[in-house]
Structure 1
Amino acid sequence: MRALLISALTLFLLTAACQSPHIEQEFAAGLEKIRGQYAPDASLALCNAEVRKNGRGWSLVGETTVPRAAAALRALADSLLHNTYTDSLSVLPAASLGDSNWAIVRVSVAHLRRASRHSSELIDQAIMGRVLRLLKKDGGWYLTQTPYGYIGWVNGKSLTRSDSAGVARWQQASLLRVNSFDALIYSQPDNTSLPVSDAVFNMRVRKVKSRGAWTKVALPDGRTGYIASSAVKPAHIYPRAGGRSITQTARRMLGVPYLWGGNSNKGNDCSGFTQNVFLAHGIQLPRDARQQALKGQPVDPGADFSRLRPGDLLFFGKPGKITHVGISLGGPRFIHQAGDVHINSFDPADSLYNPARRKAFQFARRILKDDQ
């Protein structure tokens, strides 16, 4: 009898060992389907999970920002493991953050990185006054999500952590938007006084009071200072989002240097440039060129590009893969970030003709409505 039990146990263990890779492979295949349905763009949503064999038991481990993806992952694990596993799957924001799972950018430009270290790739930037959702913490770093959905790691020293009530107070305050490319916030209403902070285009500060040529402002972390009144506008009032005004704003950035992942007037990449320009007119574009290419309405540029209007977005790359974006100035000329912000043309007779860009041009999209 004892020999029979040992043989049965041995057979069971061998069978389980043989099934383990099969279960893991089945789960991995199911995970890809779930990602495709609930988190197709990894820059906007996380969905990472696996099943692990631990001794005689199984565990479901991982994390996601999408509750419906979590439900689908658990259903997949149930179907493969018949509820005989430890559930260690978490839905972000992490419970350990408590109610304070929001933050406001407190420096002129905060860097979003791919991993929680300063040496990691810069993937985006968030400017002062931006509200970020906190997803989890790793040492002095927070995994954050921007208002347009982009996910990246930000050092905590760049942020003022808050709860939803604090965010509401900030958003409902008398906020000002910086409309200058070279402003500073001073400790006194005097441009020879010590600076409190630099200021970048489109960033937001809270108005305390105006003093003629100077306006006293408060930063998200409570610091106060003075900025030239001419450098700020009420945050909720934007210039008209017309083609001409869009291109005027774009021209103001001529010469701004290229920065991979950059998203401010200090330095930007191609889609950071277009995003900043449109944001100045109250239009929030997605972060990446491939994401911006899904917005607006398709435009037939015409054989000579004469049907393009100022403010149309132009997309470059190859079929099925967009790698670059620019802004039409109307007709064959366009402005874009490539090394620096400059103007090129699709017209071979134009001194600004760029044959490589003409060859790589894929299509145009119209973001602005006809009445704009």
Structure 2
Amino acid sequence: MDRRSTPFSGRFALPSLRGRVEATLTEGKAGSVRLPLADLLAHPGGARDRQVLLGDAVTVIDLQDGHAFVQAAKDGYCGWLAEDAIGPPMQPTHWVSARSSHLYTAPKVQAPEVAALPFGARLTVRASRGSFAETPFGHVPMAHLRKLEDRPRDPVSVAEGFLGAPYLWGGNSAAGLDCSGLVQAAMLACGLPCPGDSDQQQALGQPLSDGAALERGDLLFWKGHVAWVADKRRILHANGHTMSVTFEPIASAIARILAQDGGPVIARRRLVMS
């Protein structure tokens, strides 16, 4: 079983794993991420697998050493979060549609900022205060928010909004993100389901033959890497070569990655848009 998608801490598991693991079964406890950005770890105090954002719903399955083993609702990803990153369940009304934003102590641009907010964070707007939204965590410019159901339709355009963002292994925000983080951020923003890592994302959409003409919105996969097709000539990807989100000619990228022992393209997928 893939630990990333298996709600089993080693001691406790969700009932969906009944008969498949030796564990105490629990329904878990509903919660949500209360920090702007938090690392989802492979084990308590361990390496980052992915990141979760403010307002992301989680199910808490186990507690150990100041950490909670959780499953994220948005993609089913499982891992350990610092306990102080988790709060009670939220009922978000809006999401951050700007590349990044801030929480302010008061509804005015001169007010001190409380924290930075990443693209995709989810918030409950209590009231409108001029050009600011009042939330339980502070005030946010209304221009940086969309209603929860108000979603863009082109994930590549969303991904283009991250151009120049630094590369960060396991990152999921404009402060730093990796190849699969870029794909997931764009797809979730458009209301499209998407798992967290590139090997999992390889199951998305429909397969394309090697000779098929590529279109904007297709995905190209290498072992451990994924890129958006921006147009017939270019891909858009977060990559360790430039350590940033950048465009790259398709032919050049394929040749460069092969020359750097990254192997050939192993899959081409076309998303099915509803």
Contact 2:12/2:61, CA 8 A, preserved across alignment: no
Structure 2 partner of 1:158? 85
Contact 1:102/1:133, CA 8 A, preserved across alignment: yes
Contact 1:315/1:324, CA 8 A, preserved across alignment: yes
Say yes or no: does 1:226 pair with 2:152.
no
1:67 offset after TM fit, Å? Answer: 3.9
Q: 1:90 aligns with which of 20, 24, 29?
A: 24
Q: 1:132 aligns with which of 28, 45, 58?
A: 58
1:196 offset after TM fit, Å? Answer: 2.5
Say yes or no: does 1:203 pair with 2:125.
no
Contact 1:141/1:153, CA 8 A, preserved across alignment: yes
For 2:116 and 2:246, the matched residues in 1 are separated by 25
Say yes or no: does 1:191 pair with 2:119.
no
Q: 2:184 aligns with which of 262, 268, 275?
A: 275
Structure 1 partner of 2:68? 142
What are the Cα deviations for residues 312-332 of structure 1, in whole angstroms up to 9, with x where unaligned? 111112xxxxx1111111213
Structure 2 partner of 1:33? none
Structure 2 partner of 1:27? none
The equivalences for 1:48-63 within 5 A come to: 63=11
Residue identity matched to 1:331: K
Cα separation, partners in 2 of 1:67 and 1:107, compared to 1, 3 Å: closer
For 1:64 and 1:211, the matched residues in 2 are separated by 45
What are the Cα deviations for residues 195-248 of structure 1, in whole angstroms up to 9, with x where unaligned? 222211010111112233222222xxxx3x2211111010121122xxxx3222
Contact 1:256/1:265, CA 8 A, preserved across alignment: yes
Structure 2 partner of 1:258? 167
Secondary structure of residue in 2 paired with 1:347 = helix
For 1:45 and 1:277, the matched residues in 2 are separated by 24
TM-score (ref. length: structure 1): 0.66
1:66 offset after TM fit, Å? Answer: 5.4
Cα separation, partners in 2 of 1:73 and 1:343, compared to 1, 3 Å: closer
Residue identity matched to 1:251: E
Unaligned runs of at least 5 residues, structure 2? none
Contact 2:12/2:62, CA 8 A, preserved across alignment: no
Contact 2:14/2:27, CA 8 A, preserved across alignment: no
Q: Which has the higher helix share?
A: 1
Cα separation, partners in 2 of 1:69 and 1:284, compared to 1, 3 Å: closer
For 1:92 and 1:124, the matched residues in 2 are separated by 24
Residue identity matched to 1:344: E
CA RMSD of aligned residues (A): 2.2
Contact 1:346/1:357, CA 8 A, preserved across alignment: no
1:365 offset after TM fit, Å? Answer: 0.8
Q: 1:361 aligns with which of 258, 265, 274?
A: 265
Structure 1 partner of 2:156? 247
Contact 2:107/2:130, CA 8 A, preserved across alignment: no
Secondary structure of residue in 2 paired with 1:43 = helix
1:279 offset after TM fit, Å? Answer: 1.2
Residue identity matched to 2:171: G
Structure 2 partner of 1:14? none
Structure 1 partner of 2:13? 65
Secondary structure of residue in 2 paired with 1:199 = strand
Structure 2 partner of 1:42? 3
1:68 offset after TM fit, Å? Answer: 6.3
Say yes or no: does 1:340 pair with 2:240.
no
For 1:233 and 1:325, the matched residues in 2 are separated by 28
Say yes or no: does 1:285 pair with 2:189.
no
Residue identity matched to 1:284: P
Structure 2 partner of 1:106? 34
Percent of aligned positions that are identical: 26
Say yes or no: does 1:300 pair with 2:209.
yes
Secondary structure of residue in 1 paired with 2:124 = strand
- Using CA pairs below 8 Å that are at least 6 residues apart, which structure has the higher relative contact order? 2
Residue identity matched to 1:314: L
Contact 2:7/2:70, CA 8 A, preserved across alignment: no
For 1:73 and 1:253, the matched residues in 2 are separated by 41
Contact 1:45/1:64, CA 8 A, preserved across alignment: no
